[in-house]
Each structure stands twice: as C-alpha cells, then as structure tokens.
Structure 1
Amino acid sequence: MMLNRRQFVAASAATGFGWPLLASAQAIDSAKILCGFPAGGTTDAVSRRVAEKLQSSGYAKVALVDNKAGAGGRIAVEELKRSPADGSVLLLTPAAMITLYPHIYTKLAYRIEDVTPVSTACRIVFGFGVGPGVPESVKNIKDYLAWAKAHPEGAMYGSPGAGSPPHFIGALLSKESGVDLRHVPYRGSAPGIQDLLGGQVGAMSSPIGDYLPHLKGGKLRLLATSGATRSRFTPDVQTYAEQGFKSLTMSEWYGFFMPGKASPETVQRAAAAIRAAVASPDVVEAFAGLGFEAGANTPAEMAKAVREENIAWGPIVKQVGFTPEN
C-alpha cells in the first residue's frame, strides 16, 4: 500500500530540480519548517537538517524549525493551513497525518485539499522489537506469538501513539494470528523505548531507527521489519512477509507540504531546494543514522502517493476497528 523502495529510489534519482534554479531566484527573507513533534525527536532532526540546507542554498536568508507539537502531529498541520502560501512556511510530517488521519478523526480540522505536496524527504520501515520482559528464547515473530499466547499477562506491545502506523501493524498482527495483543500507546517513541528497555512493556512496534542504538549491545532484539525486503540497516532480521504475514508489508515517507493555495511556481522552487538538500551526502549519512532512506520526489509524484495511500488506509482502519475513543 505504501510507496515502495523501488518507486522511492527511482523518484529520488529523477532529474529536473537542482541548484541552478535556486541561484536564479531571490531568497526569501525568512522561512520556517513546522514540525508536529517535540525537539530532539526524529521528525525534528530531519526538519533541522533540511532547514540548514535551505539557508545555505539561498532558498531563504534564515530558515528555522518551529516545533508545534501535540495531538499526534495534527496541530502543525492546522498551523500550516492558516499560514501564508508564499513559500515562507513549510511542514514536514510523516505521511500518516495526511493520508491516515482522515479515516480516524471524524472532526479533523483540516482536509487533504488544505495542503499542497512539495517533496518527500525520507522513508522508513517499522520493526517489532522485544526487551528483557520477553525471554531470550524468543527469536522471531512466531516465537513471540507462542510466548504471548502462553503468557497473556505479558502480551502487550507499545507504539509511538494510538492510531499511528506502528499501532496498526501490531493490531493487524494480533488479528491475523488470533493472539490477543494489548496495545499500550505512548506519546512518541522515546518513552516507549525506555519502558521496553526497562521491561515495563515486553514488545514495541516502532520505526526501526528507534532500535538501532540498542541492538549491538543486546539490550533489545528486533523480531521483524515491515519492508517489502529486508532493511539494509538490519539485514539479518526477517520481514513480516518472510514470516508469513504478507499484509504487514508497510513503509512510510516523511514529506514536505505547503498551504493549499501555494502557487505551482512557489511549490516548484521549494521542491528544488528540498531535492538538493536531501541529496547532500552529509544529509544522506545523517538520515541513515536515524534508520531513514533519504530521497525526494516531484510534487506530482507526491500528490499521487497521497491520494493512493489515503484510499488504501480505509479498509485497514475498518478491519482493525480503531476509533480515537477506544
């Protein structure tokens, strides 16, 4: 359902945007990137890396990140909707805020039409990890499900938030396996990973970058990843599909948006700057350290992905039966 790696890499390699376009245009006095999550998180880190490049490239004389955290990223989208459409305000957000949330929140304060796709920045896959609360004999998803069935008191998994893609992966795993896995929502990945390390929660469904710092020391074990193929960051870890759960193949991109009334010329100029930023070797390396695959695409390609993924999320939400109230 999500933009796959081949499409993502192909889009990233496409030509048409670059530094020459920026050099011929006058820099904006001040630009800001809205980030719907707290400073210090992965979304914030991506925002700041690109902001640095927007300033140094000549897109803006000053480029800053404005953290509008809260409501699972919705506050930042609402702020973008109210912002001027002159290129001075962009939003970086995981795709779910735009593609998934309309299926979950009946009183969402924005519509897909209220934002204009500019370019993707990176892609992630999700992982299912366990910590000291689960025996070391558990090596893969089937081991975990057998253990969870035999120990229902410990059959809990955390996620970065209720209604997030990692939450849905865990919920689908529970439904398809027939094993009752209770969801523990956190306000972001960081507190969930801390509880996973401490044994307060046995398992976690989260972006794989959250686990990487803890895998080498053996503090956490990654049982599965959600990509169509194994992640280059964890090549020894099998995918869900390899372990018999093909419907759990899922990835997510982080993308830049502008207000819905932004002109094509304004969008194209920002897309050029973002494409150049994301292609910078230091940015590629920094993203890899977070478990992200760097990559940009065109506004048209991103708009197509938004439409297709919004349609694809509908039946998944219905199958899981999730509403914010439960």
Structure 2
Amino acid sequence: MIQRRHLMQLASASACAWLSPSGAQAAKAPMPDVAKIITGFPPGGTLDVLARRVSDRLRGRYAGSVLVENKPGAGGQIGVLTLKNSPADGTSLLITPSSMLSIYPYTYPKLQYQVDDVAPVSLGALMDHGLAVGPGTPDSVQTLADLLQWWRNNPNSANYGSPGAGSMPHLVGVLMSQFSKQEQRHIAYRGTVPGMQDLLGGQIPAFWGPIGDYLQYTKTGKLRVLAIAGAKRSPFLPQVPTLQELGYPLKVSEWYGFFMPGKTAGATVQQANEALRWALAQADVIDVGKQYGLEVKSSTPAELGDLLKADAQQWRGLIKQTGFTAES
C-alpha cells in the first residue's frame, strides 16, 4: 500500500502548486444548473457526510445546485457503474473509497467497469480502518488477543462484518485470519451503516471498517476498537495499537477520491478539480472530516491517478496472498 506520509507529501505539494501564481488561464465553461455527487453507499456513513459537506461548498461555485445521490449496492460497485453511465458533461462526480478501483478489478472477474471508465479529479480524504467490538462480545474482550481467544473458545461466534465483500476492510479481515491461524467468517453488508447497526445491536461481535464511524460510540463505551490497520497510530484513536505493533505484518490505509466519467474532457476535469480543491480547503469541511476520523486532503488529477496505480499494484500481491475472489 502507498503510505500515508507519501500521500500527504503529494497532497501538500499539490496544494502549493494550486496556491502559486499562474499565468492566464483558459476561459471556464458555463456553470451547470445542477450537478450531482454519487456515492455507492447508504446515507449516514462517513463517506456520505463528507460528500454532503463538499456538495454544500460546491453549490454556487461549481454548479447552481449540487445534490448527493446515494446508489448503494454490490460493495460500492453500483456507484461506480452509475458514474460510468452518466453523461461526461461535468454534471456528475463520484466520491468513492479506493477499494472499488484498486481492489475490485482483481477480485471480481465479471466486474462491469474498468478503471479507464472513470477519470481522476481529486483526492478527498485519508482514513484508517479498525476492528471494533461491541455488545456481541463479553466485556472481558479488551484486546485483539482477547478477541482471538474468545473466538477460539466460541467458534460459532467467530465472525466479523465489513462494508462489502472484497472491500479493503474485508480483505484485512481475511489476512488477519491467515496471520492468526484463526478461522473467521465474513458477513458482508451494503455499506458501513447497516453493519454498524448490527454491531451496536449485538447481532455480530466485530466489524472491520472506517474508524470515523466508531468515534462517537467509543466515547460512550458502546464500542471498543482493538486495532487499526494503518502504518501508525491514528490521531483520532491514539490509544489503539496498529496491527504491526501487535505482531502482524500488515499496514494499509484507504482514501476517498473524486472521479468523473472516463470520457470527460480534460478542461472540464480541471474545472471540477479547482472547485473541489477550494471546497476541501474550507475550515468547515476539514472540521467535519476530523469529527469522522478523516484527514481531508486534495490533489491534482494526475496525482490521484498515480495513487490509484500504486495502490492497485500493491493490492494485486496482497490479493494473491489471500486467495480471495468474489466467487470464493
């Protein structure tokens, strides 16, 4: 996986380039009356919250009205397909986790889209995934070692949820199962929100997903986060160890990115990039990101494309290690 430090260096460099003086620029196309930001997940999750705050900031700057269109299903694939089939006229954007584009091409042999079907516009945010437990586990489960032992003693309860089959959180769980030599059954959800509902209700004992969805519940003690998958501890949950600290050779993070249909003209992509980079630099967008465990960052289209390629290369090897396919 491309590491957070490298991501932040790219984002910082792009921000400097954006803020530097430049010569005359080409005339901008007329502002659309209505534009939309598509997400492949239900309302209420971290991705949806960021999309709605950004859409508020784009309204009147990029388009007269900017709507968020939730298209949940197939672990985020429906969102990408919706963008693929949208007109390439600047009125449709997608915000998606990287998994749909860096992982799914290697795990879904019958995927109905290709990476070339989307055009990178800008990075949106960096995030970590964590393993959380709730009412479905005893209070004595306070560490990852405790959970693994409880699963060994209660094999019928050895399962975990994730936002979707083949997503990064799912594959982190698969790798954890291999490393710990502890069989763990996966339960796929249509996004984080329904999985969190079952986790909080005790229907499932554990969940791998974005740490931002856990924060409000860790403060009240309803959930306990036992580990995160990133290269270093998260500033949002500094007390939680990384998998590497716990002896597991895995360090992966995810990002949210903005994309347009693959055939969108370069000038249109650039115009959307400028608007997004302005929106992502606003204090209220950065603050809402912090509330949900996100480091809000922007980039140039080329930098986002490079991040996607680097992610895809490294996940190709990890997926071979898991042996996972959509049919497994």
TM-score, normalised with respect to structure 1: 0.93
The reply to whether residue 101 of structure 1 matches residue 108 of structure 2 is no
Distance 1:266 1:181 in 2: 46
Distance 1:79 1:193 in 2: 25
Q: SS in structure 2 opposite 1:277?
A: helix
One-letter amino acid of the counterpart of residue 316, structure 1: L
Label 1:272 to 1:17 Cα distance change in 2 as closer, same or farther (>3 A). farther
Unaligned runs of 5+ in 2: none
The reply to whether residue 15 of structure 1 matches residue 19 of structure 2 is no
Q: SS in structure 2 opposite 1:241?
A: coil
TM-score, normalised with respect to structure 2: 0.92
Unaligned runs of 5+ in 1: none
Q: SS in structure 1 opposite 2:95?
A: strand
Alignment of 1:1-326 (within 5 A): 1-2=1-2, 4-13=3-12, 14-17=15-18, 25=28, 26-56=30-60, 58-247=61-250, 249-326=251-328
Distance 1:125 1:227 in 2: 6
Range with bigger deviation, 32-41 or 45-54: 32-41
Give the deviation of 1:117 after TM superposition.
0.5
Label 1:198 to 1:86 Cα distance change in 2 as closer, same or farther (>3 A). closer
Distance 2:239 2:26 in 1: 44
Give the deviation of 1:168 after TM superposition.
0.7
Label 1:24 to 1:287 Cα distance change in 2 as closer, same or farther (>3 A). farther
One-letter amino acid of the counterpart of residue 169, structure 1: V
C-alpha contact (below 8 Å) 1:59/1:270 kept by paired residues: yes
Give the deviation of 1:279 after TM superposition.
1.0
Give the deviation of 1:76 after TM superposition.
2.1
Label 1:84 to 1:187 Cα distance change in 2 as closer, same or farther (>3 A). closer
Give the deviation of 1:75 after TM superposition.
1.9
One-letter amino acid of the counterpart of residue 259, structure 1: P
Give per-residue Cα distances to partners, 1:213-264, cap 9 Å, x unaligned.
11122111110011111111101111111111132x1111110111112222
C-alpha contact (below 8 Å) 2:75/2:189 kept by paired residues: no
C-alpha contact (below 8 Å) 2:42/2:193 kept by paired residues: no
Aligned length: 323
Label 1:23 to 1:286 Cα distance change in 2 as closer, same or farther (>3 A). farther
Q: SS in structure 1 opposite 2:169?
A: helix
Give the deviation of 1:320 after TM superposition.
1.7
Label 1:65 to 1:23 Cα distance change in 2 as closer, same or farther (>3 A). farther
C-alpha contact (below 8 Å) 1:131/1:220 kept by paired residues: yes
One-letter amino acid of the counterpart of residue 261, structure 2: P
Q: SS in structure 2 opposite 1:15?
A: helix
Give per-residue Cα distances to partners, 1:273-304, cap 9 Å, x unaligned.
11111111000011111111100111111101
Q: CA RMSD in A?
A: 2.1
Give the deviation of 1:24 after TM superposition.
6.5
Distance 1:79 1:18 in 2: 33
Label 1:292 to 1:104 Cα distance change in 2 as closer, same or farther (>3 A). same
